[in-house]
């Protein structure tokens, strides 16, 4: 379908004698006409960054929308605004289907400019583009519905039917490599698009351990298309852009054996869509601008809510090729997101392969920990003792390392450990007692 869009954009460029640019309604670049002018003034920063970054930015997007392009049914002329980096005026051809805006065709305005008859002919081409965009959006909605069904279906014949329906909806792409992603907590609607995604849906919250559900609220589920098992780096960047700015600016954790050059990818700034906005959207990036609140409606910039006390984190499962493995992959993604929430060192985006013991703990600890030995230690009155015990066990029982990590004297460490043994009745010289306490402390983090 990409070729169809390019052909139609080239047709508009030929009709109007100027290079045209096509964006979807979220101001993401779809196709652009060839530019062969030797005049540097014919390109301004907005257009240049649009083509290079393939996406819009919030500030200049707002500037263009202020001229009513989302409601217009015919060409809209927009003057230059040098203070915003828009050195050339624009002509916007709204792309609509059955009254609903699907995208925009942009042209740089120039004297004497296209005539009314030429613009009318270009609008007819824009209508054909609108049909294609609407069909693509419908196909995406079908995919998201089938993807959600796979994640929430029961076992046996229900899951078999859901997988079969998703395979039909994916078409030839169903045999490719995919990765499941969980972003949680998530409130509101899913974003209109996510780079590299085959399907996006919101999985309703459920009781801890419920089929498909995520404890504490709903989650955004993303089905990413991958070219190979080595293609996770751009996928991690796309996922990180779904997170609030504070998290997205942090390191992105690559899993063991996975990509290594992904740190800081989430902090890449999204910039202007073709012929459209150019100001930076911020670290939350291309598909979604994150902040407080909930995702916006269709056609609006989606916003990931902070979900109250829990930060928004994301988990990425190991890639799978068989669609029947998606439910298990989703469980991995949920576990990785929970681990990222529990342990900041995993980063705001964690791969299941990189979360170590949390791979087991997330599956085992479906309910909050209530082991009689650890119960007293896990109360609010003994948080410092619990932290001391966890650091000591993380350091493999090496007192010197643990004291240094805690910033306390070794004798203080010994005193605290003795108090831990008194409260729990456990002997920290015994391996099984250490294992029990370590598991209880880590599992408690998952429900913190």
SS3 183: strand
Average pLDDT, the chain: 75
CB 104 within 8 A of CB 69: yes
Confidence band (pLDDT; 50, 70, 90) for 317? very high
H-helix or E-strand spanning residue 401: helix 399-406
pTM comes to 0.55
pLDDT of 106 over the 90 cut: yes
Confidence band (pLDDT; 50, 70, 90) for 94? very high
Can you tell me the mean pLDDT for 190-196? 79
Can you tell me the mean pLDDT for 303-308? 37
Crossing angle between the packed helical segments 399-406 and 383-394, to the nearest 10 degrees: 130
Q: What residue spans define the domains of the chain?
A: 2-133, 177-364, 380-446
For 360-406, the pLDDT digits (tens) are 887 775 556 677 888 888 888 888 998 898 899 889 889 999 999 99
For 55-78, the pLDDT digits (tens) are 556 777 788 888 999 899 999 998
Can you tell me the mean pLDDT for 38-66? 61
Give me the pLDDT at residue 349, please.
92
Statement: 380-446 belongs to CATH 2.40.50.200: no
Half-sphere exposure of 260 (CA within 13 A, CB side): 2
pLDDT of 8 over the 70 cut: yes
Which has the higher per-residue pLDDT, 28 or 131?
A: 131
Instruction: List C-alpha distances in Å: 173 to 137, 373, 382.
Output: 17, 51, 53
Give me the pLDDT at residue 216, please.
59
* Count of all residues that appear for the chain in the document: 448
Confidence band (pLDDT; 50, 70, 90) for 96? very high
Distance (Å, whole) CA 110 – CA 98: 31
The reply to whether 2-133 and 380-446 are identical in fold is no
For 254-296, the pLDDT digits (tens) are 343 333 333 333 333 333 333 332 332 232 332 222 332 333 3
Give me the pLDDT at residue 294, please.
32
Top CATH class of 2-133 equals alpha beta
pLDDT of 297 over the 50 cut: no
When mean pLDDT is compared over 42-46, 129-133, 139-143, 277-281, the highest value belongs to 129-133
Can you tell me the mean pLDDT for 27-35? 76
pLDDT of 181 over the 90 cut: yes
pLDDT of 306 over the 50 cut: no
Give me the pLDDT at residue 140, please.
58
pLDDT of 48 over the 80 cut: no
pLDDT of 335 over the 50 cut: yes
């Amino acid at each position: 379908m990409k070729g169809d869009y390019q052909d139609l954009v080239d047709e508009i460029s030929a009709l109007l004698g100027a290079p045209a640019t096509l964006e979807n309604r979220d101001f993401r670049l779809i196709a652009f006409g060839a530019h062969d002018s030797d005049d540097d003034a014919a390109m301004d920063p907005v257009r240049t960054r649009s083509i290079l970054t393939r996406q819009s930015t919030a500030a200049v997007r707002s500037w263009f929308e202020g001229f009513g392009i989302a409601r217009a049914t015919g060409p809209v002329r927009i003057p230059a605004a040098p203070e915003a980096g828009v050195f050339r005026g624009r002509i916007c051809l709204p792309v609509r289907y059955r009254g609903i805006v699907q995208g925009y065709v942009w042209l740089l305005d120039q004297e004497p400019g296209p005539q009314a008859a030429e613009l009318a002919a270009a609008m007819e081409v824009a209508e054909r583009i609108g049909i294609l965009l609407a069909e693509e959006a419908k196909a995406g909605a079908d995919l998201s519905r089938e993807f959600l069904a796979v994640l929430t279906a029961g076992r046996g014949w229900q899951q078999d039917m859901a997988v079969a329906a998703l395979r039909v909806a994916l078409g030839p792409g169903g045999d490719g490599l995919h990765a499941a992603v969980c972003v949680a907590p998530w409130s509101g609607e899913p974003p209109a698009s996510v780079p590299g995604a085959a399907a996006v849906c919101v999985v309703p919250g459920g009781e801890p351990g419920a089929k498909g559900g995520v404890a504490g609220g709903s989650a955004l589920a993303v089905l990413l298309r991958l070219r190979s098992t080595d293609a996770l780096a751009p996928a991690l960047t796309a996922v990180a852009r779904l997170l609030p700015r504070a998290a997205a600016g942090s390191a992105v954790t690559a899993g063991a054996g996975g990509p290594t050059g992904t740190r800081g990818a989430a902090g890449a700034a999204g910039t202007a869509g073709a012929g459209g906005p150019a100001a930076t959207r911020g670290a939350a990036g291309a598909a979604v601008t994150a902040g407080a609140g909930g995702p916006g409606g269709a056609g609006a910039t989606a916003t990931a809510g902070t979900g109250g006390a829990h930060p928004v984190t994301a988990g990425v499962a190991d890639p799978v090729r068989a669609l029947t493995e998606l439910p298990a992959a989703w469980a991995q993604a949920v576990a990785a997101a929970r681990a990222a929430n529990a342990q900041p060192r995993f980063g705001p985006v964690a791969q299941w392969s990189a979360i170590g013991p949390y791979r087991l703990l997330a599956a085992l600890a479906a309910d909050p920990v209530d082991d009689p030995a650890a119960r007293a230690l896990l109360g609010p009155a003994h948080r410092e003792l619990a932290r001391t015990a966890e650091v000591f066990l993380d350091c493999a029982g090496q007192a010197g390392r643990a004291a240094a990590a805690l910033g306390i004297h070794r004798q203080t460490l010994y005193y605290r450990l003795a108090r831990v043994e008194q409260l729990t009745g456990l002997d920290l010289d015994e391996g099984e007692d250490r294992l029990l306490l370590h598991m209880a402390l880590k599992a408690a983090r998952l429900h913190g």
